[in-house]
Structure 1
Amino acid sequence: MYALKNFDFDEETIYKNRWIIQFVLIVVPFMGSLDASIVNVVLPSIKKDLGINLSLSSLIVSSYIITVATTIIIFGKLGDLKGKGRVFLYGIIVFIFGSFLCSISPNITILIISRVIQGIGASIVMANNQGLTAIVFPPNERGRALGLSGSAVALGSILGPALGGFIMTYLSWHFIFLINIPIGLISFIVGYKTLPARNSTSDVKLDKYGAFVFFISIFILFSSLLVSQDMGFSNLYVILGFFIGFVFLFFFIRLEKKLKEPMLNLNLFKIKSLSFNLVCAFIYYFISSSINLIIPFYLSDTFNYSQSQISTIILVNPLIMFFIAPVSGYLSDKIGPKKVTLAGLFIIICSMILMIRLDENSLKVYILASLCVFGFASGTFNSPNTTLVMSTVKSEYLGITGSINSLIRNLGMASGTSISTSILYHQMSSLAGHKVEDIVSSYFVYGMKSVFVVLLTLSITAFILSNIDKKLDFDKN
């Protein structure tokens, strides 16, 4: 990869190629979204083919999630130190290699190792694509670029189930990973010719001790979150895991405060706009993952809808998001991201109010309308919120800020899934008068409504925080 160390482009060339570069920046997130949605569809087939139990098959998903979460900050910092374009290209290579290994995996051990490698590649890309977008696009075009990225992720979610069904009908599960290879190679070739990959002039070294302690803390915390979905938050091992994870996180913060050149500059969080918008992002992904968990069970256990009916209904959310996200990005560029973000949060509140009214007698048209409103809110909120986050820091911190934003997304999704599950089962158990360990249709709606009350409270909190944040002068960034 010698050539990656020597090529460079001037700003005029970068600006001229900015939309070609954007194609590269959105393809890998698209593949990641497509991959995630396909894997969920074909997981039962992989379980049967490899002769494994449910716990092992769940590791196929969780190993990827944990890998991304534990390494994304590290690769964001490396992008700032070594050049985001170059690190991004290496990420594509690792992702392709991991996908190839997944496609030829003969057993669960090799498949999980391959998923870890694939997760490392995805983490490298995710840690640097937002920072590259902020570099390549001027502020008045950044919203549109990020909006297209949101549409690409939504499109991956839309195509995943259908493509997974097609592959399992005519081929084998191995091909869900093989399709990443040609797409990844095209992205690498185009990116190699267009991405800015400047040599770093900094002598700063990566804080290896900080990186190690951070890795351990996030690994334990995310593992505890994922395990809590089955074991509950009251389980002794889960409580112990959270305690140990937070102890390591405490030591990480103490260590970073003492270093002149830390891996994570904690002073970034003193920027009120950055912190507030990260909290809003966390709340959105918490809400989104909770809805994605609750609604399919609601449709299945309350109305006995078939799998195809459920798939069709839940596709409404990403489909609406696919069309709205670019429009939201365009409006963000025209009238400012703060106004569009507030509009998105307000619509989220409206969607939560609609969902609280869901019950055993809800009409299908009302369910679809509720999901449409949330899809509209998602498409409206995402890109301007990311624009606000990425516009609060200096260029040398774009990589680490983008990776923090991605970590917050993963943390919000994992937390939403775990906590909403706990609330659901706690409320069902409370109504039943004994501990409920599986979904009981007669108690489900009561538990679901409790989850939506929490989600409504969180969405109102995010709206208030976003209103408090009035100091970001976007036009000057």
Structure 2
Amino acid sequence: MDDPPASGTPSNRLLLLTVGIAVFMTSLDITIVNISLPTISLEFGVSTATISWVIMGYLLVMCSFLPAFGKLGDLKGYHRIFSTGYLVFVAGSFLCGISGSAAMLIGSRLLQGVGASMLSALTTAIVMIALPRAARGKGLGIVAMFASLGIALGPAIGGFITTYLTWHWIFFINVPVGIAGFFIALRTVPKNSLPGRQKFDYAGAVLIFFAILGILFVLNQGQALGWTSFPVVLSLLGAFVFAALFIRRERSIPYRVFNIGLFRVRDYALSNLATLMVMLVFSGALFLLPFYLEYVRGLPPDIAGLVLTIPSGAIFLAGPLFGALSDRIGPRIPSAASAVALALGFIAIARPGVTGDDALLYGGLVLIGLGVGGFIPSNSVQVMALAPEGEVGSVSSMLLTIRNLGSTLGVAVFEAVLAGVVLAGITGPFVADAIPPGLLLDAFRVAFLFGGFTSVLAFITVMATRKKRKFAA
């Protein structure tokens, strides 16, 4: 097919805006609610465990529906699914805002998660089909920039709204922004070529939904409920059963939710493995850094929060730059260089002691942000270049699914590494305030060095891909 218009045209700038709004809102709503949970819990008179489903329900639904909506985009059109996603997200946000009970709020968040999944599943696919080959990496970098803004600004915006307005406005602010994004999407999102009368595999969609749901539940709740507890073990077994049934079904029918045969393509499998490793170490670092800054470095929460904006700021800067670089020289070298920056960043933050060496700490955080910000758009181009015709949406959604699985796995792995080192050096319970600072510092160092080692493995994985590849049209 012919190349789309240049990326600098007004229509493509508006398209990047509507895609950017979508990823900004869906990312923002992961972090904006956290700070208001104590207030919401108190107002509704429910436990922390109950109100935590406001966060977990949104994440589980958003991630588990991704493969289904990616395939629906291929079959029914990206324009249709993406635009509808805006309406569902806005409706869920409004219902969250007017919620008068915890049950209604959690249910509305599930609906909001469905809308977020419809939007998120197709963002990469839309950029790939709408922009010319020479501008796709830069476009994906701009999308990563919007996502980093959403994650970084969420706690600050949520705290401001909860303090000076009410928590209800955390959700109401999505309504006008989402409506604006919807009308821009109607005008700018292209209508991709659709296949003939092809069935949608509803049974396969259900199977992969429950497989992903089970895995995410185990990774999210394993530490809290106990890895050998009945709900965790049952969820893990269920996830394996559903995954096995899904793979068996997808091999036996022509109209698949996802072409699992793609994982037999060496470059595709390696690129997705690198994605899993990079997102694992980044999310694990983001999980541990607040504890490190407060318990080891002794920073107050407000200063620690400011320090944690450093990686997001670096992602904001690196995304478009590395994306444009991957357009010029191909995605392999920018992806590999990003993994190197990530590894150096982890080594740097593992060096400082209890006090001092702030330059190493801050420099390491910059390198981590540059590594992730450079890797996401470059790796996206690398993966999407291998998408077969008519399957761009399903490949896009699977890439995001793997990112989310990596992010969830990262929290569990880094927490386990930290706890393992600490428990090996104490005889009592794991209480952070009571652990000797030296032992706690050693535990964080081991976790960060593990992040560096995994980043090196990601570099090796990227370099094992072929140097040249055919870009998807």
Shared fold per TM-score greater than 0.5: yes
Once the 2 structures are TM-superposed, how far is the Cα of residue 58 of structure 1 from its aligned partner?
Answer: 1.4
Give the corresponding residue for 1:223: 217
Once the 2 structures are TM-superposed, how far is the Cα of residue 200 of structure 1 from its aligned partner?
Answer: 3.5
Give the corresponding residue for 1:119: 113
Residues 90 and 174 of structure 2 are in contact (CA less than 8 Å); yes or no, is this contact kept in structure 1? Answer: yes
Once the 2 structures are TM-superposed, how far is the Cα of residue 180 of structure 1 from its aligned partner?
Answer: 0.8
1:406 pairs with one of 393, 400, 405: 400
Unaligned runs of 5+ in 1: 1-9
2:13 pairs with one of 10, 13, 19: 19
1:295 pairs with one of 276, 289, 293: 289
Unaligned runs of 5+ in 2: none
- Whole-Å separation in 1 of the counterparts to 2:353 and 2:127: 43
Give the corresponding residue for 2:441: 445
Q: Structure 2: which amino acid aligns with 1:212?
A: V
TM-score (ref. length: structure 2): 0.94
- Whole-Å separation in 1 of the counterparts to 2:78 and 2:29: 24
Identity among equivalent pairs (%): 29
- Whole-Å separation in 2 of the counterparts to 1:338 and 1:198: 27
Once the 2 structures are TM-superposed, how far is the Cα of residue 223 of structure 1 from its aligned partner?
Answer: 0.9
Give the corresponding residue for 1:456: 452
Residues 6 and 135 of structure 2 are in contact (CA less than 8 Å); yes or no, is this contact kept in structure 1? Answer: no
- Whole-Å separation in 2 of the counterparts to 1:440 and 1:406: 39
Residues 310-325 of structure 1 mapped to structure 2, 5 A cutoff: 310-325=304-319
Residues 5 and 131 of structure 2 are in contact (CA less than 8 Å); yes or no, is this contact kept in structure 1? Answer: no
- Whole-Å separation in 2 of the counterparts to 1:469 and 1:14: 28
Matched, 1:57 2:51: yes
Residues 14 and 196 of structure 1 are in contact (CA less than 8 Å); yes or no, is this contact kept in structure 2? Answer: no
> For 2:166, what is the secondary structure of its paired residue?
coil
Residues 53-452 of structure 1 mapped to structure 2, 5 A cutoff: 53-197=47-191, 200-235=194-229, 237-436=231-430, 440-442=434-436, 443-452=439-448
Once the 2 structures are TM-superposed, how far is the Cα of residue 66 of structure 1 from its aligned partner?
Answer: 0.4
- The superposition leaves residues 157-178 of structure 1 with CA deviations (integer Å, 9 ceiling, x where unpaired) of 2322222222122100111111
- Whole-Å separation in 1 of the counterparts to 2:38 and 2:421: 29
> For 1:396, what is the secondary structure of its paired residue?
coil
TM-score (ref. length: structure 1): 0.93
- The superposition leaves residues 400-441 of structure 1 with CA deviations (integer Å, 9 ceiling, x where unpaired) of 001001101110111111121122222211111355265644
Moved more, 95-104 or 158-167: 158-167
> For 1:328, what is the secondary structure of its paired residue?
helix
Aligned residues: 468
> For 2:323, what is the secondary structure of its paired residue?
helix
Distance 1:219 1:38, change over 3 A: same
Residues 1-40 of structure 1 mapped to structure 2, 5 A cutoff: 17-40=11-34
> For 2:199, what is the secondary structure of its paired residue?
coil
- Whole-Å separation in 2 of the counterparts to 1:198 and 1:14: 17
Once the 2 structures are TM-superposed, how far is the Cα of residue 449 of structure 1 from its aligned partner?
Answer: 2.1
Distance 1:135 1:300, change over 3 A: same
Moved more, 243-252 or 178-187: 243-252
Q: Structure 2: which amino acid aligns with 1:75?
A: F
- Whole-Å separation in 2 of the counterparts to 1:173 and 1:326: 34
Once the 2 structures are TM-superposed, how far is the Cα of residue 199 of structure 1 from its aligned partner?
Answer: 7.4
Residues 134 and 328 of structure 2 are in contact (CA less than 8 Å); yes or no, is this contact kept in structure 1? Answer: yes
> For 2:463, what is the secondary structure of its paired residue?
helix
Once the 2 structures are TM-superposed, how far is the Cα of residue 394 of structure 1 from its aligned partner?
Answer: 2.3
- Whole-Å separation in 2 of the counterparts to 1:210 and 1:74: 9
